[in-house]
Amino acid sequence: MIAVSSNNIDPSTLPRPNKSLKRNWTIGVLIAFIFLIYSAETTGFNIKTVASGLPDFVNLMQEMYPPKWSTFPSLIAPFVETIQIAIIGTFIGSIIAVPISLLAANTVNKNNKLYLFSKFIMNLIRTVPRILYAAVFVAAVGIGPFPGVIALIFFSLAIVAKLTSESLEAINTGPIEAVETTGANKLEVILYAVVPQIAPSFISYSLYVFEVNIRTSTVLGLVGAGGIGQTLMTSLNLFMYQRAATIIVATFAMVIIIDLLSTRLRERLM
């Protein structure tokens, strides 16, 4: 037999469902659904269109297969350029991010106006898409790797500065106070109390951004910012589909290898 508790529960004490919350959720879901339908209509997206495009997609895959590996030697230089763009963009952006992250951390910078201004600049840089940076600099200085480097510098700066400043705000302030009691100046406090705590995280963030930049530098090439992406776009425009397939497969392999190496390094640091 099942034991029944002798404790009587007063139904009036049970929590009642929040009708206003339920109504708000219903209205929110309804608005989202209406906006989804409207967006699909205005963009022309529907299942029929997708289905009608499948034969063309299959034909494109057939033209790409098999990849033309004999063209790979000519692709080595663009691949190297892609990695170089990512390295330079990550390195310079991360270095510039150091002073900005220090200014944007209230544990290090006690000047509230300078703190808020640094936060504003950091957020402003981060709001601009990388592809837009690349397109603007391609228009300004011409096609090539330089616009890609500049775009990745801005992106790396924004991300590394944000992540590092957040880590700085969570550090132990005990070492800072201890060094300050010795009469050390601001630079000495940063070098001996802040850097030892934040260095592993900073390097880890930089490696993570480098992973992202490898993928991004490939995409930036599609707007003329150098690297293997520009070579891929040229191959597609010239209907060299087997060469394009070689680029896609090789890019996929490169990204996986670099991601694995970077992940291993970050795991050792953290």
Alpha-helical regions (H) of 104-173: 112-127, 130-141, 145-168
- pTM for the full predicted model: 0.75
Residue 243 CA to chain centroid, in angstroms?
Answer: 29
Whole-angstrom distance, CA of residue 141 vs CA of residue 236: 24
Whole-angstrom distance, CA of residue 164 vs CA of residue 159: 8
- The DSSP symbol for 16 reads P
Residue 7 CA to chain centroid, in angstroms?
Answer: 56
Domains of the chain by residue range: 66-269
Task: Retrieve residue 186's tokens.
Answer: 């601001």
Look at residue 160 in the predicted model and tell me its pLDDT: 92
> Does 93 have pLDDT greater than 90?
yes
- Return the biggest CA–CA distance within the chain: 84
Mean pLDDT of the chain: 83
Q: Is the peptide bond before 55 cis (omega within 30 degrees of 0)?
A: no
Whole-angstrom distance, CA of residue 103 vs CA of residue 146: 29
Look at residue 20 in the predicted model and tell me its pLDDT: 72
Whole-angstrom distance, CA of residue 214 vs CA of residue 261: 13
Task: For residue range 225-258, list pLDDT tens digits in order.
Answer: 778 888 888 888 888 888 989 998 988 888 888 8
Look at residue 7 in the predicted model and tell me its pLDDT: 55
Whole-angstrom distance, CA of residue 200 vs CA of residue 191: 14
Task: For residue range 178-228, list pLDDT tens digits in order.
Answer: 888 888 888 888 888 888 888 888 988 898 898 888 888 888 877 777 788
- % the chain with pLDDT above 70: 92
Whole-angstrom distance, CA of residue 216 vs CA of residue 85: 10
Look at residue 2 in the predicted model and tell me its pLDDT: 47
Going by pLDDT thresholds of 50, 70 and 90, the confidence category of residue 1 is very low
Question: In terms of Cα–Cα distance, which of 160, 128, 133, 129 is closest to 148?
Answer: 133
Long-range contact set of residues 95-99: C-beta below 8 Å, sequence gap at least 24: 96/153, 96/157, 97/156, 97/157, 97/158, 97/160, 97/161, 97/164, 98/164, 98/202
Whole-angstrom distance, CA of residue 170 vs CA of residue 92: 25
Question: In terms of Cα–Cα distance, which of 139, 146, 143 is closest to 81?
Answer: 146
Could you please state the CATH topology (level 3) that the domain comprising 66-269 is classified under. MetI-like fold (1.10.3720)
Question: In terms of Cα–Cα distance, which of 68, 77, 78 is closest to 246?
Answer: 68
- The stretch 159-186 carries a mean pLDDT of 85
Task: For residue range 30-69, list pLDDT tens digits in order.
Answer: 999 898 888 888 877 777 777 777 887 888 788 888 888 8
Look at residue 42 in the predicted model and tell me its pLDDT: 82
**Greater pLDDT, 154 or 13:** 154
Whole-angstrom distance, CA of residue 163 vs CA of residue 2: 56
